[in-house]
Amino acid sequence: MPGVASQFMMGGAANGGREPTNEDCGIREVWKSNIEEEFDTIRQVVKRFPYVAMDTEFPGVVAKPIGDFVSNADFQYQLLRCNVDLLKIIQLGLSFFDENGKPAPGISTWQFNFEFNLTEDMYAQDSIDLLQNSGLQFVRHQEEGINPVTFAELLMTSGVVIMEDVKFLSFHSGYDFGYLIKLLTNQNLPLEESKFFETLCLYFPVIYDVKYLMKSCKNLKGGLQEVSEQLELERIGPQHQAGSDSLLTGATFFKMRELYFEGHIDNEKYCGHLYGLGTQHVQNGNDVANNQSPPIGAPQPAGGSAASANNNANNNATPTNIDGAGNSESNSSNNAAADAGASAGATDNGHDGASK
């Protein structure tokens, strides 16, 4: 589609030489004071702009599961599950596009800021440091953050979820969707990955994970920022904030669709796969990680990713161990960080926990 890149380029010159704010970039900040008003707008926007790019920011990786696992894949899903169960989402970005990749005019992106308390909630220190350096206001999150139950109730009636004509765009998004499912169900994630995908299918019938699409794109590699640069897309808004990351995810999807897929994504091949989640298969008598998920809703044994949430994660030192039943054994204070590698969000190497 011609012109995709030009829609996603914006510099200080357009703003009198000053650094553009989120509002200048079409990113609306949402707190508890304006959430109902903004969802009223979203209900109308999604009717004309049904491609929804999504990103989350969350406080890293602080725990690892312990016990016996049938495969590395099983271990990786349990790693995701125990961290999503323990931690709280900090920020969610939703960006709306039409079928041609044109963002909604004016405000195209909503950045939801959730309740988060640095003195009470668990986190990995490196992730919090990165998010603070990226402009997140944790004092304001504590005082004005959105209640998760309120958000879930409004999202359920927004026309954004449980709609087959709404297509979600994401990047290496197992953890992102894990946090959304936790919000929408107000429950911990299912013990088995197959149940996770059944729930995912219910709320998000159509998903395209850009990182999964990259498997078929020669020479594209790296995290969201690296891929967007290879595609000559310029970021709008601050990196490591969910609004900017969701907007860039959407732009990346449409540019990839134009350049590598002749404007059409084969749903049979790509729809419903989440990069890094899936089972293993046996090849020549050996377990080989296929590093991909089955289509959403497809039956599979309990399992998880063949790759960790952070490609470079070192999960040897974490403050909490979780057994197979979900019981935890704390090894440190609730806000103590995991080691630098386990702190998803410290690097930009794919899906890095706190951000892309």
Distance between CA atoms of 72 and 56, rounded to whole angstroms? 25
For residues 113 and 143, the answer to whether their CB atoms sit within 8 Å is no
Q: Which residue in 10, 1, 2 sits closest to 248, CA to CA?
A: 10
Query: pLDDT tens-digit profile of 172-205?
Result: 999 999 999 999 999 999 999 999 999 999 999 9
Spatial distance between the Cα atoms of 216 and 213, rounded to a whole number of angstroms: 6
Between 344 and 28, where is the model more confident? 28
Inter-residue contact 147 to 32 (CB < 8 Å):
yes
Domain boundaries of the chain, sorted by first residue: 19-269
The span from the CA of 98 to the CA of 33, in Å, is 28
The CATH class that applies to domain 19-269 reads: alpha beta
Of 210, 193, 217, 200, residue with least CA distance to 251:
210
If pLDDT is split at 50, 70 and 90, which confidence band does 72 have? Answer: confident
* pLDDT attached to residue 334: 41
pLDDT at position 335 over 50: no
In sequence order, the β-bridge partners of residue 94 are 54, 110
Query: What is the three-class DSSP state of 283?
Result: strand
Q: Residue range 237-264: average pLDDT?
A: 96
Region of poorest pLDDT, from 109-118, 157-166, 199-208, 303-312? 303-312
Residue 331 has pLDDT above 70, yes or no: no
pLDDT confidence tier of residue 24, bands split at 50, 70 and 90 = confident
pLDDT the model gives residue 302: 32
Q: What residue has token string 């990259």? A: 214
pLDDT of residue 313: 34
Sheet holding 27-30, edge to edge: 27-30, 109-113, 91-97, 51-57, 167-170, 206-209
Share of the chain above pLDDT 70, in %: 72
Closest residue by Cα to residue 318 from 122, 187, 132: 122
Does the pLDDT value for residue 325 go beyond 90?
no
Per the CB < 8 A criterion, the answer to whether 83 and 318 are in contact is no
